[in-house]
Each structure stands twice: as structure tokens, then as C-alpha cells.
Amino acid sequence: MDLRTWLTSGVDAIEGWQATFGPFGRHASLLISDEQFARAFSSFAERLRENYPFFHPCYAGQMLKPPHPAAVAGYLTAMLINPNNHALDGGPATARMEKEAVAQLAGMFGLATHLGHLTTSGTIANLEALWVARELHPGLGIAYSAEAHYTHARMCGVLGVEGTAVPVDGAGRLDVGALDALLAGGRIGTVVATAGTTGLGAVDPVHEVLAVARAHGVRVHVDAAYGGFFTLLAGAGGLGIEEAPWRAIAECDSVVVDPHKHGLQPYGCGAVLFRDPGVGRFYLHDSPYTYFTSSELHLGEISLECSRAGAAAAALWLTFQLLPPTPEGLGQVLAAGRRAALHWARLLSDSPLLELYQPPELDIVCCFPATGPLAASAIDQASARMLADGMADTAHPVYLSTLRVTADALRRRHPGVAADTGGARILRSVLMKPEAEDFVGELHARVERLAGR
């Protein structure tokens, strides 16, 4: 699709709609000449060049990529109206789009019933899920993997709830045996299972966590902010995505997913879904000047946030019309990144210069330089040098990130590494752009050249 054409069409569509309400004059305080704007915009465009090339497959450092053109066209067109999805009064069209898109997300996870809405981030979505957990089990704590996102520990502090980190296994997944022992103490009301950690992309065994939690009468919340859309590939042949953890999400109590990651959306667009619509009772509140146009449920009545961009819902709804959250739709986009990760893992396993840290479960690949001597301190220094050298190489740039791991975690996977320091930085790459599938051979070659310097 030609984005320029559709952005123009979007402006035309909104101007045509506006014209149906009759002419009026713009206030003089808002008028800016093209000459004034040209000067400001020139400086603005130059400032934007300070960014890293998130659009290019040579950038594999963080969970960043431009949104799909359909999402851009949908967002900017709706933004010309600037609806607020807090209430139907503020965004009747986009509020309905949000409900429809959220229903598609619920269907993606197999939820038979749901109550949910979009949020501005996965952090806020997780805050809402943990807040409901506190209201359902007052006085009880929340448990999460030691490698879960730091959001959970921080949100427990915000909510005044005791948070407990559970040890992980040799692949960075929540240790179910340790969880069972913890829950036996009777102090935990909700367990957070992570479907795709942001460090390694590890997937907790949600099905096993669910069984242990239910045996102790404990709720389960799934943080699938990063990995959630990989449920579309669960059990698909040749991709190695285990089916059981993803299918178990349908029986869990709540789940969070971020469409602004693998859902091709602009920031910020998160989502929280509850399996029991009855938790809506915790959101009950009154407002003297909203919710007056309809007796239908307003999104602000099931959300902690108030004002939210209706444009985010419009962008997601339009994207889902073209690339729905199904294996045949959006699943094909994720499959390309997953194939790229598997391909790079094979190249790393055969490399004399690089070591694969552990097999990737999703599309995050971690490795480290095969230093001599093979020691944590040498790996740390070499990884930092490669990170800087890759970004400084103007001819063949490569943008990675680093992940700090403990010496114990490193030796657990690679017993030959000398633990001469407490930990080390290793190289981490996120292959979430489908273009990585055709570029991963070149990416590997560039990283090998960095390791060989």
C-alpha cells in the first residue's frame, strides 16, 4: 500500500465529514503560515535523524520497529478527530472499534468469556491485573518468576502487596517445584506466569503453573505483553512453539498482551483481558459529566485509566481487518521472525567465534563471543566492545543490545566458562521484523566480523 496516498485519503475523508456540520472560521490564535511551519519542521525532521534505524533488519537491538502502514493511516486519520475512548460520549465510533478488536484478542487466546480493554502500555495493563488480584485476595501476596519483567515487583510496591520472586530453571522459566513449595505456605493469592520474558524470550510452563496454582486455590495471571501473539504459532509444524503453555492461557484468570510489539501498532497500545467479566465490579465509579449518552457499558467503567487515545483503537481495528490475529493472518508475520531466530541459532551453533547462549523459544536470540580465555570478565568486555563497534561501523552497521546475566546462569548453560566475576553482559537480539528472515545470514556475518576483531 502507498502510505502517502492513504494519508491524503484520510485527510479528505475527515474534511468531508467535517463539512457536513457547516462552515466556520478558524480562530486567529491557531493560524500559522507555511513559512513559519517550514522552519520548525525542517529542524524537527533533522532532530529525528538522531534515531537508530528501527525499520532496518540491521537493527536487532530492542523490541522496536515502525508500525504497519495500515496502523499509521488508521491512527492519523482518527487522530484528526482526536476521540477519547474513556466514554462513548468522547469516542462512539472508536470505542466500538476497541470492543471489536479486544474481542478478537480474546478469541486469539481462546477465552470463552472476557472483560477487557486497551491500555497505553503493558505496564498499565499489568497494574490493572495485579490490582484486581489484590481486590480478590486482600492480604495475600503475588508471586512471579525471578526473570519476569520488573513491572511486577514495582507494581506490587505501588499496590502495597507483598511480591515474591520464584527461582527459574536452566532455561530461564519459572521453576514449578519451587512454586509448589511457595504456595504451600498459603501466603500467595495470585501467580504471574510469563509467556515470553523480555530478556530471553523464555515461556513459563503456563499449563504446569496453572495446575499447581489451582491445587492451592491460587489465581493465575499471564504476562504475555511481549510473547502473546506467538499463541498463533502454537503447535505449528517446524517452528518449535510448544502448544500446551499457550492453550492453558484460556483457563487462566487474566492475560496481558501488547499490540504495540508484535501487533504492528504504534506506541502505546497494550491490552488487559479478564476471563471473568464479574471483576468489572471493582471498577465501579460515578462521574457527574460522563456516561450520559448511552446505557451501554462505557470503556471508562472497566478501566483504571481515564482519557485514552481512540486513535489507538482505530489503528488496531483497521490493522486487524487486513492482518487479523489468526495463524493465516498476523501469524505469518511472526512465523518469519521465528524462522529467522531458528536459522541464526543454527549458524551460531556452528560458529567458531560465537556461542549460542541458549536455544531461542520465540524470536529473541542471545549469544556471546568465544573469548580466549573463556571467562565471564572477558565475555563481558568483548560484548561491550562489539556492541559499540557495531553501531560505529558506517559501512556494515549492526545494532544489538546486551543482557546482563549472572555467572551462575552463564555456567549453568556453559560449564566451561570461568566465573572470575559475578556476571557478564552477553549479546541479545530481537528478530521481530519479518525482514530479518532474509537478512539473518548477513546479520550473522557482521556479528562474526565484530567478534573476530
pLDDT of residue 428: 98
Identify which of 380, 372, 430, 432 has the alpha carbon closest to the alpha carbon of residue 406. Answer: 380
340 and 232 together in one domain: no
The domain containing residue 338 runs over which residues?
330-451
pLDDT (tens place) for every residue of the chain, 453 residues total: 999 999 999 999 999 999 999 999 999 999 999 999 999 999 999 999 999 999 999 999 999 999 999 999 999 999 999 999 988 888 999 999 999 999 999 999 999 999 999 999 999 999 999 999 999 999 999 999 999 999 999 999 999 999 999 999 999 999 999 999 999 999 999 999 999 999 999 999 999 999 999 999 999 999 999 999 999 999 998 999 999 999 999 999 999 999 999 999 999 999 999 999 999 999 887 777 676 677 677 888 889 898 999 999 999 999 999 999 999 999 999 999 999 999 999 999 999 999 999 999 999 999 999 999 999 999 999 999 999 999 999 999 999 999 999 999 999 999 999 999 999 999 999 999 999 999 999 999 999 999 998
How many other CB atoms are found less than 10 A from the CB of residue 172? 25
**Does 8 map to a domain?**
no
256 and 373 together in one domain: no
**Does 40 map to a domain?**
no
397 and 277 together in one domain: no
316 and 340 together in one domain: no
Query: What is the residue-wise DSSP string for 148-163?
Result: S-THHHHHHHHHT--E
Strand ranges inside 224-328, DSSP E: 254-257, 270-274
DSSP 3-state assignment of 208? helix
How many other CB atoms are found less than 10 A from the CB of residue 213? 25
Q: How many domains does the chain have?
A: 2
348 and 276 together in one domain: no
CA–CA dist 418, 379 (Å, integer): 10
- Cell numbers at residue 43, please? 529542524
Identify which of 427, 432, 324, 334 has the alpha carbon closest to the alpha carbon of residue 381. Answer: 427
172 and 205 together in one domain: yes
**Does 7 map to a domain?**
no
411 and 386 together in one domain: yes
CA–CA dist 209, 217 (Å, integer): 12
pLDDT of residue 302: 82
> 415-427 burial, b if ≥16 CB within 10 A, otherwise e?
eebeeeeebbbbb
CA–CA dist 376, 384 (Å, integer): 12
Strand ranges inside 156-207, DSSP E: 163-166, 188-194
Find all residues with CB under 8 Å of 355, minimum gap 6, and list them: 348, 367, 368, 369, 370, 414
CA–CA dist 425, 52 (Å, integer): 21
Tell me 231's DSSP state: G
- The distance in angstroms from the start CA to the end CA of the chain is 42
How far is C-alpha 239 from the chain's CA centre?
A: 20
171 and 100 together in one domain: yes
Rg (CA), the chain: 24
Give the CATH number of the domain where residue 108 resides. 3.40.640.10
CA 32 → CA 26, 40, 376, distances in Å? 11, 11, 58
CA–CA dist 250, 244 (Å, integer): 11
pLDDT of residue 292: 67
pTM for this structure?
A: 0.96
CB 261 within 8 A of CB 253: no
For the chain, give the longest Cα–Cα distance: 77
**Does 22 map to a domain?**
no
**Does 2 map to a domain?**
no
Say what the alpha-carbon torsion angle 209, 214, 220, 222 is, to the nearest 10 degrees: 40
Where does a domain end: 304, 322, 340?
322
pLDDT of residue 433: 97
Q: Give the DSSP H/E element, type plus range, for residue 425.
A: strand 423-430
Give the CATH number of the domain where residue 441 resides. 3.90.1150.170
At CA 253, angle to CA 333 and CA 197, rounded to 5? 45
Identify which of 161, 129, 141 has the alpha carbon closest to the alpha carbon of residue 276. Answer: 129
Find all residues with CB under 8 Å of 435, minimum gap 6, and list them: 56, 57, 336
372 and 395 together in one domain: yes
- Backbone φ and ψ for 145, nearest 5 degrees, come out as -60, 150
228 and 309 together in one domain: yes
CA–CA dist 426, 73 (Å, integer): 38
**Does 132 map to a domain?**
yes
pLDDT of residue 100: 97
Q: Report the relative pairing of strands 141-145 and 163-166 from DSSP bridges.
A: parallel
**Does 44 map to a domain?**
no
CA 243 → CA 170, 232, 234, 413, distances in Å? 20, 10, 5, 25
**Does 199 map to a domain?**
yes
215 and 169 together in one domain: yes
310 and 174 together in one domain: yes
